[in-house]
Amino acid sequence: MSARDAILERIRSHRPSGEHPLPESPDFTRPSGDVQARFVERLERMGGEVLPPDGSGDMLAPLRTRLAAAGRVCSAAPEIEGNVDLDAIARPHDLADVDISVARAAFGVAETGSVLFTEAELRVNAMAYLAQHLVVLVDPADIVESTQHAYRSPLFHQARYVACHSGPSATADIEGVLIHGAQGVRSLTVVFVPRSDASLR
C-alpha cells in the first residue's frame, strides 16, 4: 500500500466519535468610521510609515524626491519609473542590490494595517523582500475594513501567490529587542495615491 493510502486508511479507522458539524462563520466586522485613519494607526503600530503629501497637489512628488536620492530603484507600479528594468530580470537574484522597491497594493486592510500583493502587483515576487526598503502605493478606496473582509477577495482563489505585509520585516528574537529588517525589507512606507487608469486591473 502506498503511504498515501495507508495514511488515509488509518485516518478512517481512527475517526473520532461524535458529529462535529462545520459551524457557520459569522461576520464580526463593525464599521470603524474612518477606514483610512484606522488603517494608518494600525500600520504605524506594525512598524510601517506613511509618506505624507507635500501640498503641491502631486501626490507622488514626495516619493519622487526620495527616489531621486536613492541608488537602485525597482518599480512594478506604472506610476513610478525605476532604474532597474523588471522585464530584464533573468533571476530574482538580479534584484539583490536594489535599494527601494515600489509596488501597488492589490488592497489594504484597516484592522491590521496590512497591504496585500499578488504576483501581478510584484511581477517578480522577490522584489518585495530582497530590496532594502519597500514603498507601497495604496488607493484609499481599496482599503477593506477587516481580516474577514479581506478573505472574501477572489484573489485567494485566482492568484498563485498572495502576500499580506503588515509593516516591515521584524524580529525580537534576542532578548525581546525589536529590530526591523531581520532578513527582508528594513522599512515599509505607504503612499496614498488613487489608481491611475494604467494600473486598473
Partner 1 sequence: MSGPPDSHTVIGGPREPQPRGAKVRPGWPIDQSEAADRFIAAPRHLQNHDTRLWTLRQNRDRIAHGIEEWEELRELASQIKEHTLAHLDHYLEMFEANAKANGIHVHWAADAAEHNRIVHQILDEHGARSLIKSKSMLTEECAMRPYLEGFGIEVIETDLGERIQQLDDEDPSHVVVPAVHKLRADVAEVFSKTIGTDPNNDDVHYLAEQQRETTRPLILQADAGMTGCNFAIAETGTFVVCTNEGNADLSANVPPLHIASIGIEKLIPRIEHLGVFVRLLSRSALGTPITQYTSHFRAPREGGEMHVVLVDNGRSERLGMDEFWTSLKCIRCGACMNTCPVYRRSGGLSYGATYSGPIGIILDPTFNRTKYSALPFSSSLNGSCSNVCPVKINIHEQIFAWRRVMAETHEIPLMKQAMMKAAGELLSSPALYRAAVSGADAALRTLPKFIVYNRLNTWTRAREMPKAPDHTFHDWWKANREKTEVQP
**Out of 57, 176, 197, 200, the residue judged to bind partner 1 by CB under 8 A:** 176
Cβ 15 to partner 1 shortest distance, Å: 6
CB under 8 A: which stretch of 57-65, 75-83, 152-160, 193-201 binds partner 1?
A: 152-160
| 145 contacts 152 by C-beta, under 8 angstroms | no
Closest CA to 185 of 104, 131, 116: 131
Q: Which is nearer to partner 1, 119 or 196 (CB)?
A: 119
Task: Show the CA angle centred on residue 147, arms to residues 118 and 195, nearest 5°.
Answer: 45
- Binding positions for partner 1, 4-63, rule CB under 8 A: 4, 6-8, 10-18, 20-23, 25-26, 28, 42, 45-47
Q: Which is nearer to partner 1, 31 or 57 (CB)?
A: 31
Render the burial of 162-198: b for 16+ CB within 10 Å, e for the rest: bbebbbbbbeeeeeeeeebeeebbbbbbbbbbebeee
Cβ 64 to partner 1 shortest distance, Å: 26
Cβ 125 to partner 1 shortest distance, Å: 4
Q: Which uninterrupted H or E stretch holds 155?
A: helix 155-158
Which residues contact residue 16 at a Cβ distance below 8 angstroms, ignoring those fewer than 6 apart? none
Q: Which is nearer to partner 1, 15 or 201 (CB)?
A: 15
CB under 8 A: which stretch of 31-39, 79-87, 167-175, 192-200 binds partner 1?
A: 167-175
For 124, other C-beta atoms within 10 Å of its C-beta total 18
CB under 8 A: which stretch of 32-40, 61-69, 78-86, 127-135 binds partner 1?
A: 127-135
Q: Which is nearer to partner 1, 61 or 179 (CB)?
A: 179
What is the bridge-based pairing of β-strands 170-171 and 100-104?
unpaired
Q: Which is nearer to partner 1, 16 or 31 (CB)?
A: 16
Q: For residue 121, give Cα distances in angstroms to 48, 53, 136, 160, 198.
A: 19, 23, 10, 12, 13
Q: Is 128 in the site for partner 1 (CB under 8 A)?
A: yes
